[in-house]
Amino acid sequence: MKIARHAFLALTIAVVAAAAAHMGSTVRAADVCDRDCLRGFITRYLEAMVSHTPGGLPVSPTMRFTEDTVDMKLGEGLWKQASRIRPYRLDILDVAQGVAASQVVVEEAGMPVMLMLRLKVADMKITEVETQVTRNQKEGAIFAIEDLKSPNAAMTAPVDPAKRASRAEAIRLAEFYPAGLEVGSFVAVNAPFAADAYRFENGRLMAGKGCAFRPPSCEDIKGQEITKHPGLSYRVVAVDEELGITLLRMNFGPAAGRYGEGNGLMVWEAFKVYGGEIHGVEAFMKVMPVAAPSGWDADVRHPKH
């Protein structure tokens, strides 16, 4: 009888321990915001913005929100007159960092604008909101917003796991781009562009087959003539491992008065990288004071190649 009781007790303890372990793993899994969860936060944010209900969002007590580098309260800026979300939306989801970013076209008082959105999610709450809004050609230098009807299939297609880059490699590949811009040549840094690589800027195809910038030379993105950008800096924002997208925010630096005295381009570039190559570049950009800090740039890097 003693042996039976001891065996029963041991079995009970084992069952309880196993159940506790399962519950613990379930709780931990539930605490992780996966791709669907991060995408859901973007959707909730956009829906709250067009319905003008910031109070309905799950935000942390210390949540910080900026639009065009200026600290604001949720409900201000674009929120005031946002009226509709158009179909163009490219989500870049970094589960490891809890970052949900999106290039999306929003209507403000009925007029289309380009919104770059970055959310930081922790403990199922939004802790950071960083946005950039481009409303017209003067603000964007390029503004082919009516061409932004739906995201490019090349960007949204998942990458074959056998061809996916590690996070470190995905960042390294994207970093060839700012390195080339700094010296004014992608050839000089031997940037690893795929043969069919392309680049969109604010909706306009600026490099690749069918490009609009000095054709036909622009069809070769690597050999294309580009301006030198001394003083360029950038920040790695997100790495979407499933889609093979690395997102950088770049300050192109002084532009010799090209965009007005003291101004430069602030560019959010999404790089499609896999198989050791850069396959596509899609950018949302805005002309802004070049010396204005974004407020989030603690990890700014300079080109290293």
pLDDT bracket for residue 16 (50, 70, 90) = very low
Residue 131's domain comprises 35-135
Distances (CA, A) of 144 to 134, 138, 149, 201: 11, 12, 11, 8
165 in a structural domain: yes
Are 170 and 249 part of one and the same domain?
A: yes
In a domain, 279, yes or no: yes
* Backbone phi, psi, residue 230, to 5°: -65, 140
Tokens of 195: 């043969």
Domain count for the chain: 2
Query: Considering just the CA atoms, what is the radius of gyration of the chain in Å?
Result: 23
What would the pLDDT profile of 266-297 be if each residue is shown by its tens digit?
999 999 999 999 999 999 999 999 988 888 98
The answer to whether position 15 is within a domain reads no
Are both 92 and 177 inside the same structural domain? no
Looking at the structure, tell me whether residues 71 and 182 fall in a common domain: no
Is the same domain home to 193 and 130? Answer: no
Q: Is residue 22 part of a domain?
A: no
Q: Are 175 and 225 in contact (CB under 8 A)?
A: no
pTM above 0.75, yes or no: yes
110 and 78 assigned to the same domain: yes
Sheet holding 277-289, edge to edge: 204-207, 193-201, 277-289, 263-274, 245-251, 233-240
Look at residue 194 and give its three-state secondary structure: strand
Domain match, 59 and 120 both? yes
Whether 89 is in a domain gets the answer: yes
Q: Same domain, yes or no, for 184 and 277?
A: yes
CATH number at residue 74: 3.10.450.50
Residues 178 and 92 in one domain: no
Give the mean model confidence (pLDDT) for residues 233-253.
96
Cα end-to-end distance, the chain, whole Å: 75
Residues 238 and 175 in one domain: yes
Shared domain for 179 and 277, answered yes or no, is: yes
Q: Among the three residues 101, 135, 169, which one is the final residue of a domain in this structure? A: 135
The verdict on residue 116 lying in a domain is yes
C-alpha dihedral (234, 238, 239, 244), degrees to nearest 10: -90
DSSP label at 3?
H
Q: Is 303 a domain residue?
A: no
Q: What is the mean pLDDT of residues 187-199?
A: 97
Tell me: do 70 and 121 sit in the same domain. yes
List, for residues 31-70, the tens digit of each pLDDT value: 789 999 999 999 999 999 999 999 999 999 999 999 999 9
Q: Is residue 253 part of a domain?
A: yes
